[in-house]
Structure 1
């Protein structure tokens, strides 16, 4: 199967996106809710469109169902035959195969421009929602009750932006959007528990990978969050959220914990200086190692060695 070309189309506005999908111009310049069944009906009978890769400088929250064929997010392919809730942040890329069958497509897509949040605390807080950076294979599987809850919030957003705009309109829309994101955060944490086998298997694999890095040769770099996530086949954001949900610690905190435990053993079992220990652990700068050690233990490596002996 041929992958998307490198000719990338950039979507900057909701109006651009609406034209791409065959919808009329949005009623509000910064937020719109698309019914994907209506998208399917509007595109019925049209010849297949050649879709180049698209980078949308918009936020997107969507449930897509009934798609048959290939959708690329980045360079990976995904299955949307069943409904899952997905999130995209501005600057992410997607594309579709020319043979994508939308004859049974349904669901919805809420899109909003970053400018909607410009003067609100949510504009800063939204970066904390890791699920905007998950892969679609890590998407949220909703129960019927959860989907109904989100649908109520979505309809509230739609009703508000279809009203004549006044000085309260944007405040109401942004507050409802924050409620939607809070529910999504709750439902993701529920999924880490109720779909426990996959997260717990991932936790076991993570612990094994981290141990393998920690018993590596002297001077081997401390693994980064990105390296471990790549080895496990998940995104860094998903890995950290999963670990925080199951253990209370992020990926970085697990790495630091493992590094400090290895450092303690090295400080007590060898005559290396603190600097030599830092280099053996893969630190480029011994000062960074000493600072991290003090942060995690409350004392310096030298004090730890002296007290332990």
Structure 2
């Protein structure tokens, strides 16, 4: 049975990566809500049941019908409390949605931003309307209509625009201010880039600007928030974490210094050597020989 479930999950993920989207109905055991990689896909989920969602450093417990917006760059977890949990989910990649002329509505939507509201309470009437949209997406993805990708993008946009009309949930934990939330999510995102396990997948997020883009905020806002909360600039956190990883790779792998430099996102080994010496006072070769 375990092998069968694993095979179904693998097939699900292969199809999702190939098409860039997947709409499906959530089974009553709610296992379908976990068969995807949050690092790669946005998620919009319409569910009825009792759950507890932790999003960044906010959390809430909700019973009834909700609409949830998941951003792959913001850490969150979902606990299903009730035994019966039903609804619909659409997963889609950023590249899939970028093909739409109106993709800016996704990036600018408060539902996908730090400090925004990723959860909405849904009335029975609103649920009926949204159910119809999800059912149409599920039907279209199985069909052979030439422009079904564009049609599904339109459905996603419709859900977003309809959601913008609704009142946000007031059950979110507001115990921390926006700067604390942003700093917390930045540090979580930074840590998720490590450990580096292979030279084939080098580090891609190396600057404050790149992290700001991932978090959908202006780099100046990110820098102010991180400095205010931690007392250190964003670049210091990034550099210190890269150095920590460099030390580990130098001491616990047989990779060459050139391979380590590449894995940490440096174009040339000399750049890595200069960076490492500036922060540690020694060069990578000396550390490895010690």
Which structure has the bigger radius of gyration?
Answer: 1
TM-score (norm 2): 0.47
TM-score (norm 1): 0.45
Q: Which has the higher relative contact order, 1 or 2, with Cα contacts under 8 A spaced 6 or more apart?
A: 2
